[in-house]
Structure 1
Amino acid sequence: MKQTLADALAQQGYTTLTQVQQAVTDPELAGSDLLVSAQTGSGKTVGFGLAIAPTILGETDHFAPAASPLALVIAPTRELALQVRRELTWLYGPAGAQLASCVGGMDMRDERRALARGAHVVVATPGRLRDHIMRDSIDLSAIRAIVLDEADEMLDLGFQDDLEFILAAAPEGRRTLMFSATVPRGIANLAGKYQTDAIRITTAAETRQHSDIAYQALSVAARDTENAIINVLRYHEAPNALVFANTRAMVNRLTTRLSNRGFSVVALSGELSQTERTHALQAMRDGRARVCVATDVAARGIDLPSLDLVIHAELPNSHETLLHRSGRTGRAGRKGVSALIVPPAARKKCERLLKFAKLTAEWDEAPSADAVRARDMDRMLADPAWQTPPESLDAAEALLARFSAEQIAAAYVRLYESRHSAPEELSDPVATGKPEPRAPFGPSTWFSVEGGRKAGVETRRLLPILCKAGGLTRDDFGAIRIQFDESYVEIRADKADAFIAALGPEMTVEGNARVTRLATAPDLENRPKPSGKPGRKTAARHTRDAAHDDRPAVASTVEDPPKAVARAAKPARKPAAARADTPGKPPSKPTGGKGKPSSPGRKAPSVGKPNSKKNKARAAAAKARSGDAPPKRRKPGK
């Protein structure tokens, strides 16, 4: 290792290297292409900085004056690119390195001027770097090493074409190092195409994902997801917390809710400018904000030294995303907590994500309001202020002279609680994600109600009508079966007499629909099924159905016989052929498909505009041939 790099590491407090850093700095790997898989937060940035140092520094400890770039580091997002630049700045600073960044959202003219002044290392995002290459504002002829950081994420974000363009434009003799949390097929194909005899490195920590992170799967009721997030934040009271959402709309919603509850919160989403995103992260580092609500894309590469808590307000869509989200905490040997908010409908999805990610989570309910208050009490009693001797006892003596010890203690607790947001009361979650099974209904009595699907009867409308008319509740009803021309309802046996008494002697409900008590349950399996479309039956068909129906007696919904008979006696409409032979009208010519005559040798009239002269002339000629129109009068002079 170069002495200048060793000095930089010592200034940052490095005493030992992490596993991935030790693996990539093996002297036997010098000059080789590498394909490295290591979890986030394992020190990859310093690792590849040390790995490419011999390639770009050569035999010296200091860089020569800056000219064309010697190394490219490509990252998927702006935040990660800027973070990599900060890490490499202190690592290469003692060696006199000049670094430049090319990221979206920044002024491209400033980047072009920085590249023109010269840079040893350029850190960039794929899209902006490709723009500079196409504009000839960056010279890649001197490139000795290219590093792809979070390569799997760059493919997921759709940067494969940009990466292939950049790698194809770089010199063939350079080193190519790919760092990725996972190595899917796309990464393997990219490595096989643009790397030469790459050496695969997998750290020992890869067998046990994120050992410094405690995973918690918290079951909550569907309506309590946001309240659970508040309680989790209050329970842990982490110096920095990151709340992940899937959409910008959800980010804005959670940010507003947490701000209204007194949390110092900032937001990160794709709709913010780079300046706004930089200010938000700086507020988290300075301590002016403690909670950051972000989408996955905006939070890529966030490295906050005091980030001890990650909350998944909405579950991610893949286990890789779950690992990347959780990897924002538990970095560089620190402990962290990754809490997944799991409503009942998302339990199966959560179990699937944990299984694919090879993670073991502790299943529990979200912290209740009482649990948060108990944790507050523990923190209050553990405060170092209790052990710090006071500089002056005048204020304490004044309080004791005026108030009792109980009053002072109660006031102190109230003041302590006023500095924190009150916890939320949570409902009992359904752990299985399914509604609880309904208890057996017990003895029951069946009733038939006039009207069914033919009359537009629906369960959601019928049940309130019966409850109101019979003075019952929804729990007093069992099964409801809507048939074609009537409906059947099941009522508790002990409520049947009260239901009949409430309906009165006429036994009708809203709309004068007649209700009839049945001696036995209806035999719905053997009911004759009506054929044809509803509302198109004739009186004869209704009569035939009634004759063969063995159901209990119920008021008929068939129309009055006189009307039905009158409709049946109405002469049927003549077929088209018969109508064509009506006196005074010319017979229509039979035609085949697409207006062609069905018999050979006869030409069908062409179909054109209704008011065209040709069609008018043909219509007049047809009337003249049938004797139904006077002969056409010729104008004088013709």
Structure 2
Amino acid sequence: MSNFDALVPALARALEKRGYSELTPVQKAVVAPELGEADALVSAQTGSGKTVAFGLALAPTLLEGAERFGHAAAPLALAVAPTRELALQVTRELEWLYELTGATVASCVGGMDMRSERRVLERGAHIVVGTPGRLRDHITRRSLDMSALKAVVLDEADEMLDLGFREDLEFILDAAPAERRTLMFSATVPRSIATLAQGYQRDAVRISAAGEEKQHLDIEYRALSVAQPDRENAIINVLRYYEAKNALVFCNTRAAVNHLTARFNNRNFSVVALSGELSQNERSHALQAMRDGRAKVCIATDVAARGIDLPNLELVIHADLPTNPETLLHRSGRTGRAGRKGVSALIVPNSARKRTERLLQNAGLKATWASPPSADDVMRRDDERILADPVFDEPVRDDERGFIDALLARHGADLALRDAAGAAQHR
């Protein structure tokens, strides 16, 4: 347990139980002794382990030396996230991390029954995770007691400001006790975030998680040059070539999402769409279809995809080019997470080559330039996958041998070669 000696013991055991052997750079940074009980403004990319990071950072503040929590009279910590999906993901992470402390973690998010959330809060929760608008509603209706809060966390603060939640965030922070810790996590720190931090944090420690770039070392960037009329076929060939467990295809507009979804459905891809016109229930069903394997491809706009987490995401395709380096990094960072490898493929019309080169340069990324996979490339990969199937390494059972002998007698390699040669002579 030497890697986790500085942590609250119950959380260290939870990490070991979960299979952790070491902390990520951002996790190490927020539990460093020199941070102590200070406020912090942390820049960390999606997928860098920041949910566990702030869970670890909060534990000494919330437990105050105790091994387990007592009855939750009122919440001790509040975590605010930009979207329902991210808030529920944070809730799940904190539940396993704090399992051995006896903590109750409650979620308050838009699209869910407010009365049910109110009953959960009345029963008592140590940590509350929610979206800005719903948390403000609960505070206004006095169903969320803020009086005992020791800490507030803003997760993906830059996205919350981009989505127009500044007023809600300021309302929430103003309602919290003045004597509290405030931790802000943000992929980028534009002026708007710096201003918010100055207004609501005290002598905050600025942490830029070293090793953020390592996340992107686990991502293979490919820039695929295409003629504009071949763009859709290129996307389809990329999907077929990689055959990823989960793939995310980004478009810049809702209309483009709908168009590609229709095209992919016609080609018999198991696909779901995420765009602004979907209800919360439809979004949940689409994401669940991806998680349980009923769908393998999700087509989405940047706004609609905010906050979603697909654990088996192996491939990101930029059907439309990102408009800036931050969007490129954020889209791509949804793969190559937690030590797993991923591919980020940019579909680049020939006329956009120079613009894409500048985009990659400004993002600090190097991509391999190539043509999209051809039909022959896809078929070769299919053959490789068939030959790599573990079933071919299994020993032949006695009850299978008779059928295999008959199969070889009728369709053996020698016969296949003879047939192929005969076909070639008649061409």
d(CA) in 2 for partners of 1:181, 1:13: 26
1:200-235 Cα shifts (integer Å, max 9, x gaps):
111222466712111111111111221111000111
Counterpart-to-counterpart distance in 1, 2:319 and 2:273? 14
- Given that 1:38 and 1:205 are in contact with CA atoms closer than 8 Å, whether structure 2 keeps it comes out as no
The Cα shift of 1:161 comes to 1.6
* Cα deviation, residue 406, structure 1: 5.6
Aligned: 1:361 with 2:374: no
In structure 2, the CA distance between the partners of 1:390 and 1:288, relative to structure 1 (3 Å rule), is farther
Pick one of 188, 192, 208 that aligns with 2:194.
Answer: 188
Q: Is the aligned partner of 1:132 residue 2:109?
A: no
5 Å-filtered alignment, 1:433-444, equals none
**Alpha-carbon separation, structure 2, partners of 1:410 and 1:195:** 79
Query: RCO greater where, 1 or 2, for CA within 8 Å and sep 6 or more?
Result: 2
Length-normalised TM-score, structure 1: 0.62
The answer to whether the 8 Å contact 1:308/1:335 transfers is yes
Note the C-alpha offset of 1:402: 3.3
Q: Which amino acid aligns with 1:400?
A: L
Partner of 1:452: none
1:386 maps onto 2:396 in alignment:
no
8 Å CA contact 1:209–1:358 kept in 2: the answer is no
2:232 alignment partner AA:
E
- Relative to structure 1, the CA distance from residue 318 to residue 388 in structure 2 (aligned partners, 3 Å threshold; closer, same or farther) is same
Asked whether the 8 Å contact 2:215–2:336 carries over to 1, the reply is: no
Secondary structure, aligned partner of 1:166: helix
Matches of 1:80 and 1:373, distance apart in 2:
38
Match of 1:219 in 2: 225
Residues 280-338 of structure 1: per-residue CA shift (max 9 Å, x gap): 22222222221111221222222222211101111222221211111110111111111
Quick check: 224-233 or 208-217, which moved more?
Answer: 208-217
| Distance in 2 between residues matched to 1:381 and 1:374, nearest whole Å | 11
Aligned equivalents of 2:171, 2:324: Cα separation in 1: 28
> Structure 2: which amino acid aligns with 1:303?
D
Q: How many angstroms apart in 1 are the aligned matches of 2:371 and 2:156?
A: 34
Distance 1:185 1:230 in 2: 40
Of 112, 115, 120, 1:114 maps to 120
**Alignment partner for residue 374 of structure 1, among 380, 383, 386?**
380
**Matched residue, 2:408:** 400
Q: How far is the alpha carbon of 1:267 from its aligned partner?
A: 1.9
Shift of 1:259: 2.1
2:251–2:302: 8 Å Cα contact kept in structure 1? yes
1:65-102 deviations in whole A, cap 9, x for unaligned? 12211111111111111110110011111111111111
Q: Which residue of 2 aligns with 1:339?
A: 345
Partner of 2:86: 80
Equivalent in the alignment of 1:178: 184
Give the drift of 1:408.
6.6
Question: 2 CA distance for matches of 1:180 and 1:212?
Answer: 21
Tell me the CA shift for residue 410 of structure 1. 11
Correspondence for 1:95 among 98, 101, 109: 101
Q: Distance in 1 between matches of 2:14 and 2:342?
A: 27
Q: Which runs of 5+ in 1 are unaligned?
A: 412-638
CA shift, 1:356, in A, is 2.3
Given that residues 91 and 105 in structure 2 are in contact (C-alpha distance below 8 angstroms), is that contact kept between their aligned partners in structure 1? Answer: yes
Query: Could you tell me whether the CA contact under 8 Å between 1:242 and 1:307 is conserved in 2?
Result: yes
**Equivalent residue for 2:44?**
38
Residue 268 of structure 1, aligned match among 271, 274, 281: 274
Correspondences of 1:415-564 after superposition (within 5 Å): none
Consecutive unaligned residues of structure 2, counting only runs of 5 or more, are 1-6, 420-427
1:401-430 per-residue CA deviation (whole Å, 9 max, x = no partner) reads 43443667999xxxxxxxxxxxxxxxxxxx
Q: Name the amino acid aligned to 1:199.
A: V
Change (3 A) 1:209 1:335: closer
Max Rg structure? 1
Contact 1:77/1:298 (CA < 8 Å) preserved in 2?
no
In structure 1, how many angstroms separate the alpha carbons of the residues matched to 2:67 and 2:415? Answer: 68
| 2:215/2:337 contact within 8 Å kept | no
Contact 2:48 2:212 in 1 (8 A): no
> Equivalents in 2 of 1:102, 1:203: separation in Å?
29
Provide Cα deviations, 1:491-520, integer angstroms capped at 9, x if missing partner.
Answer: xxxxxxxxxxxxxxxxxxxxxxxxxxxxxx
What amino acid does structure 2 have at the position aligned with 1:257?
Answer: R
Of residues 170, 175, 185, the one that matches 1:169 is: 175
Residues 230 and 141 (structure 1), Cα distance of their counterparts in 2 relative to 1, 3 Å cut: same
SS at match of 2:217: coil
CA distance in 1, matches of 2:138, 2:258: 34
Alpha-carbon separation, structure 1, partners of 2:359 and 2:85: 26
Which of 36, 55, 62 is residue 56 of structure 1 equivalent to?
62
